Amino acid sequence: NAGVMQNPRHLVRRRGQEARLRCSPMKGHSHVYWYRQLPEEGLKFMVYLQKENIIDESGMPKERFSAEFPKEGPSILRIQQVVRGDSAAYFCASSPGGGHNYEQYFGPGTRLTVT
């Protein structure tokens, strides 16, 4: 059973370009979470999605960031017009359910560098 997969593992973008980060949850998992880790900081919650629905995006910047989890295919975190401050590691996690007792399984992360 493959774990959570994220690609690309490393992404370099120039300021103003778009970044697309992909997350394939574990088989059978329909709940996806995105976290951001800025240098020297802990992981910060960004958004929680179920298939075709955004449940909680309270941690996501209001502008330039969007997330989706379509019926088919991976979850996508999209950052438009990237700036240097977007440089960070972005982690995706998945779980089989959303309740309190469900463990979140993390992917290896995508390290975004904005030049």
Partner 1 sequence: GNSVTQMEGPVTLSEEAFLTINCTYTATGYPSLFWYVQYPGEGLQLLLKATKADDKGSNKGFEATYRKETTSFHLEKGSVQVSDSAVYFCALSRGSGGYQKVTFGTGTKLQVIP
Kindly list the residues in this chain that would bind partner 1 in the complex (CB under 8 A): 3-4, 6, 31, 33, 35, 40-45, 48, 55-56, 91, 93, 98-100, 102-104, 106-109
Q: 20 vs 106, which CB is nearer to partner 1?
A: 106
Q: 3 vs 68, which CB is nearer to partner 1?
A: 3
Q: 18 vs 56, which CB is nearer to partner 1?
A: 56
The answer to whether the Cα torsion of 92, 102, 26, 57 is positive or negative is negative
- Min CB(80)–partner 1 separation in Å: 26
- Min CB(99)–partner 1 separation in Å: 7
44-79 per-residue burial string, b: 16 or more CB within 10 A, e: under 16: eebbbbeeeeeeebeebeeeebebbbeeeebbbbeb
- Min CB(65)–partner 1 separation in Å: 18
C-beta of residue 6 within 8 angstroms of C-beta of residue 63: no
Q: 33 vs 65, which CB is nearer to partner 1?
A: 33
Residue 26's nearest CA partner among 9, 3, 7 is 3
CA distance 85 to 112: 10
- Min CB(15)–partner 1 separation in Å: 27
